[in-house]
A and B are shown apart, each in its own frame.
Chain A
Amino acid sequence: MNPVVLVQLVLILVVFTALLMSAAVMVYAERKLAAAFQQRYGPYLVGPKGLMQPFADVLKLLFKEELRPKGADALLFAIAPMIAATAAFAAFAVVPFGGDTTLFGLLPEPIKLQVADVNVAILVVFAIASMSVYGIVLAGWSSNSKYSLLGALRSASQMISYELSYGLALASVLVVAGDLSITRIVDGQAGTWLGVLPRWFIFVQPVGFLVYMIAGIAETNRAPFDFPEAEQELVAGYHTEYSSMSFAMFFLAEYINMVTVSAVATDLFLGGWQGPWLPASLGWIWFLAKMSALLFFYIWARWTLPRYRYDQLMQFGWKILLPIAVLNLIATAAGVIYLGR
């Protein structure tokens, strides 16, 4: 077999496994950090420092019974979690996480640390993110339960509302970078201003970054925007009726979506794998560090801020976030035209 194809296959497997593991790491980090924010210990019994806790969780879920409510639509009930998980994994396929590398000279020619280098990568991420709403909506509808349906409806309207701001924030980065390929956008952030400040787009697009992160949190249904699963009102929202591994798939999808949003934010705003001291082939370490910082921010926000009220969420999305995103895009376009890139 062609070695390049083989390497590509291995890369796909590695990325897939890494995403699975990242979900496990995120679960552990979330529980530990939540405990720290609330001044408790968090998991510490399973394995050293409780490190095996995520695996214990998975085992527990595996051995649970798979339940399906009476009157549920069997087919849709079964495929809804699959849609959610597939969309979560698929989005990461076009996200680059490092520069070209030969793996310390192991390979004859350098490979890209990215599963698929598509020249409209940003739009692909956006398209797949917009598909992930189907998993949630179908889960809610097919469960034949009022809590699930309400959760799904809330989730759908929330995702539609915040997708606009999300897309406009992405568009303002595109205008600055002048390219749709994430790899070339990251390359455009190389170097520094005045030798100190890195040329990251977060310094050109601070408002865009803020809008992107807020809309990203809403898109992934995380607190303070976690209406689809507002415990006090909806039990568990769209996945109320799910148990065992189909519940685990929704859980997995949520964490992988967080990782994807953070990875895209790292590439678009924080210079991706660009950073001082390390050689270009080790850029992925920078990438991981920046992504982890964003993920920490995610968890931090969840355990610090209370949930919005639903009408506040809609008011905020349509009357504050969207106008800011539109103005930011117009200002960015004007800046690019009159000042140049």
Chain B
Amino acid sequence: MAGDTVLFYAFAAIMVLASLLVVGQRSPIYSVLLLIVSFAALAGLYVLLDAPFLAVVQIIIYAGAIMVLFLFVVMLLNAPYETATGLGVPSAAAALGAPLKTGGPTAAGVARGPRWAGAALALVLLVELAWSLWRAGAQETEAVTGQLVSGTDLTSVRQIGYVLFADYGFAFEVTSVLILVAMVGAVVLAKREI
């Protein structure tokens, strides 16, 4: 096996494993750290795809900036270990539904609803993923391979900049407006009275 293939499977395995552990983890801090590991493995995959710029940007933005904020929030809230086991166990419901206890149905009922909704959504996502993977496998066309070949240009920062600001200029601007709105909203929420 070529070195690239071995590395691909290594990174992919780390990524899948870390992502599963993120969900399965009880301690929020460990979840955040495993998510960082998953992002780092993703950066490794980008390097294998000859896109070092994307890999480094992935590390800087996701692993470096966003996850620090996540960690910050988790640390400040000092979130306790989740005591949940399985669906709709009373102790988990008590932990999750504590703020909702006043009025409404019992705490257990409140917590069970979101859990089942989450499970249903996860199922939908799974079906979608399977469908799209199946489609991608069925349509092994020249368009896909052609894109991959021209994708070698992605190493050039100039190329990325051009594509970002010319071809996808609208999406870029909309995203920046979205981020601005989120920022203004956060400031308004945090500083209600100045």
- Digitize A52-83: 1 where CB-to-B-CB distance is under 8 Å, 0 elsewhere: 00000000000000000000010010000000
The interface residues of chain A lying within 8 Å CB-to-CB of B117 are none
Contact A123 B65 (CB under 8 A): no
Q: Chain A nearest CB: distance from B176 CB in Å?
A: 15
The interface residues of chain A lying within 8 Å CB-to-CB of B64 are 127, 130-131, 133, 163
A163 to B59, CA, bound (A): 14
- Digitize A209-252: 1 where CB-to-B-CB distance is under 8 Å, 0 elsewhere: 00000000000000000000000000000000000000000000
Shortest Cβ distance from A127 into B: residue: B59
Shortest Cβ distance from A128 into B: residue: B59
Interface status of A256 (Cβ within 8 A of chain B): no
Contact A133 B68 (CB under 8 A): yes
The interface residues of chain B lying within 8 Å CB-to-CB of A126 are 56, 60
The interface residues of chain B lying within 8 Å CB-to-CB of A157 are 72
The interface size bin for chain B is 20 to 34
A138 to B32, CA, bound (A): 11
Contact A180 B71 (CB under 8 A): no
A149 to B52, CA, bound (A): 35
Interface status of A124 (Cβ within 8 A of chain B): yes
Interface status of A258 (Cβ within 8 A of chain B): no
The interface residues of chain B lying within 8 Å CB-to-CB of A141 are 29, 75
Contact B72 A180 (CB under 8 A): no
Interface status of B157 (Cβ within 8 A of chain A): yes
The interface residues of chain B lying within 8 Å CB-to-CB of A73 are 29
Interface status of A25 (Cβ within 8 A of chain B): no
Contact B75 A123 (CB under 8 A): no
A160 to B71, CA, bound (A): 12
Q: Which one of B52, B68, B157 lies within 8 Å of A160 (CB-CB)?
A: B68
The interface residues of chain A lying within 8 Å CB-to-CB of B56 are 120, 123-124, 126-127
A138 to B33, CA, bound (A): 10
Contact B72 A153 (CB under 8 A): yes
A138 to B63, CA, bound (A): 14
The interface residues of chain B lying within 8 Å CB-to-CB of A123 are 53, 56-57, 60
The interface residues of chain B lying within 8 Å CB-to-CB of A149 are 75
Interface status of B25 (Cβ within 8 A of chain A): no
The interface residues of chain B lying within 8 Å CB-to-CB of A159 are 68
The interface residues of chain A lying within 8 Å CB-to-CB of B69 are 160
Interface status of B111 (Cβ within 8 A of chain A): no
- Digitize A114-151: 1 where CB-to-B-CB distance is under 8 Å, 0 elsewhere: 00001110011011001101100110010000000100
Interface status of B155 (Cβ within 8 A of chain A): yes
The interface residues of chain A lying within 8 Å CB-to-CB of B72 are 137, 153, 156-157
Contact A137 B53 (CB under 8 A): no
Q: Chain A nearest CB: distance from B99 CB in Å?
A: 25
Please give the residue numbers on chain B whose beta carbons come within 8 Å of chain A beta carbons, in ascending order.
Answer: 29, 33, 36, 52-53, 56-57, 59-60, 63-65, 68-69, 71-72, 75-76, 155, 157
- Nearest 8 CB-CB pairings of A with B: A130-B64, A127-B59, A123-B56, A127-B60, A120-B52, A127-B56, A141-B75, A120-B56
**Apart from A119-B155, A137-B71, 18 more pairs, CB < 8 Å:** A120-B53, A123-B53, A124-B56, A127-B59, A127-B60, A131-B59, A133-B68, A137-B72, A137-B75, A138-B33, A141-B75, A149-B75, A153-B72, A156-B71, A156-B72, A157-B72, A159-B68, A160-B68
